[in-house]
Amino acid sequence: MTILDRIVADKKIEVAQRKQLFTTNYWEASPLFGRAANSLAEKLKASSSGIIAEHKRRSPSKQNINSSLSVSEVAQGYEEAGVCGMSVLTDGKYFGGSLDDLTLARAVTNFPLLRKEFIVDEYQLIEAKAHGADVILLIASVLTRKEIKQLSEVAKGLGLDVLLEVHNLEELEKSIMPSLDMLGVNNRNLKTFEVSLNTSRTLAEKIPNEFVKVSESGISKVSAIHDLKTYGYQGFLVGENFMKTDGPGQAAGDFIKQLEA
């Protein structure tokens, strides 16, 4: 069993337990549930940098990236830096995150927030909306085409943007459908955790132009973004490169200045 298999198996158990504690009606009564979402796809189309910054305390491959900073400070710093949006890890067991992180970030910012999670159930979309998310992530490697269609259509019905993540051509071909806004290519192999930007380069021409192309993971240099832009990418998810510093917001701001120089 791979790390990804273990995460998904644990996630299904976790969601089943949460369903017993909190009904969908409970989440739908949240003050944030009726909030109009802020489109990340539109932000990326209009941006010269395309940076999506991330809040991530740890991961299965790196036990501690940065657990000392408050999510509120990180979120404010990113927004002041001018990033297009922020990805918030909400998985607790493997990444040290929570839905509370999403709410705390929402309380101090207006830019788009992505709930970065292993989505396996419609219930998690309701949770995302109730905690202030504007965007949800679907991972093709853990979902069937039917599940992707169902989940993405429900998300769109809730007014949320959908970022679909793929790792290879097979996943991409099974996933393309009108209910997606963005197609993300994860340069990190979730089975081995090895990273290669060639994954984004190889798959770029296979992504239809009606979708915003996003490159994820392993982006640490301005030169990499300049290169990926020539392949049609408009969004760039940068996580550890900012989070491993004492000031992620400052690091993001400096990075964007270099990018736009």
Q: What is the mean pLDDT of the chain?
A: 94
What's 154's DSSP letter? Answer: H
> Angle CA(81)–CA(83)–CA(87) in degrees, nearest 5?
120
pLDDT band at 67 (very low <50, low <70, confident <90, very high): low
**pTM, full prediction:** 0.95
The token pair at 25 is 């009606």
Cα separation, 21 vs 194, in Å, equals 37
pLDDT band at 62 (very low <50, low <70, confident <90, very high): low
Cα separation, 67 vs 231, in Å, equals 35
The token pair at 223 is 């030169």
The token pair at 178 is 């009108």
Cα separation, 162 vs 225, in Å, equals 22
Q: Which fold has domain 3-260?
A: TIM Barrel (3.20.20)
pLDDT band at 261 (very low <50, low <70, confident <90, very high): confident
**Backbone φ and ψ of 208, nearest 5°:** -55, 145
Cα separation, 57 vs 70, in Å, equals 10
**Angle at which helices 122-130 and 145-157 pack, to 10 degrees?**
30
Statement: residue 74 has pLDDT above 80: yes
The pLDDT of 153-176, averaged and rounded, is 97
Q: What is the DSSP string of 205-242?
A: GGS-TTSEEEEES----HHHHHHHHTTT--EEEE-HHH
Contact 236/259 with Cβ under 8 angstroms?
A: no
Cα separation, 40 vs 22, in Å, equals 28
Residue pLDDT, tens place only, 101-114 = 999 999 999 999 99
Contacts with 181 (C-beta within 8 Å, 6 or more apart), sequence order:
39, 40, 41, 135, 161, 162, 163, 211, 212
Catalytic positions, written as ranges: 54, 56, 116, 165, 186, 216-217
